Amino acid sequence: MSWSKEKSLQLVREIGLVPIVRAPSPEDALLAAEAIIAGDIRIAEITMTVPNAIQVMEKVVNNFGDQVLLGAGTILDPETARAALLAGAQFIVTPSLSLPVIELARRYSKPCIPGALTPTEIVTAWQAGADLVKIFPCGPLGGPKYIKALKGPFPQIEFIPTGGVNLETTPEFIKAGAAAVAVGSELVDIKALREGKQELISTNARRYVEAVRTARASPGK
């Protein structure tokens, strides 16, 4: 794979969207990833809650190669992180702060986006070498207002809010200072997939990217 750490981070920042694939079956997950890529989004995060997630990652890499920047989500330990990287994942995402996972990702020179919520967790993640920090669950703590509050003391740390992100709140998160947003079920509609309506997910993905682009073009309140 030709994805360097710098190139991976550049794409995440440029697109401003990390689509999260959390599906009940490997087949659903693969279809969802295909739909996201068909929507011209070159990033897809497969979570470890997907059955046989590692095999799904391998298939995505085999089918699309460098066309997609593949992430592994819901990583809880360094052993799973390593397995995901060996399967072709190019970045690691955790739901909570795990210093051993950050260390493992750094060893492999791959981006790590650990989950954190409190100021203490955020700074701990950043000092440990996190490239971006996932603020999860962001919605219940005030959504965009929480991101804006955090950017006050931590302007140098890049945040990716997760939880409470939808088409309506995406512009608010970007204007509040988020480097990107991560979206799961609001983007990946399993019902639409099973009805053979993959194009709905592709269209939705484009809408999110456009929402990010528009928000960046008109910063402010």
Q: Which residues are part of the catalytic machinery?
A: 45, 134
DSSP labels for the chain?
----HHHHHHHHHHH-EEEEE--SSHHHHHHHHHHHHHTT--EEEEETTSTTHHHHHHHHHHHHGGGSEEEEES--SHHHHHHHHHTT--EEE-SS--HHHHHHHHHTT--EE-EE-SHHHHHHHHHTT-SSEEETT-GGGTTHHHHHHHHTT-TTS-EEEBSS--TTTHHHHHHTT-S-EEESTTT--HHHHHTT-HHHHHHHHHHHHHHHHHHHHS---
Interstrand relation of 159-161 and 133-135 (parallel, antiparallel or unpaired): parallel
Which token pair is 62? 């085999």
Task: Identify the CA nearest to 200 among candidates 212, 188, 211, 183.
Answer: 188
**Do residues 93 and 101 make contact, with C-beta atoms less than 8 angstroms apart?**
no
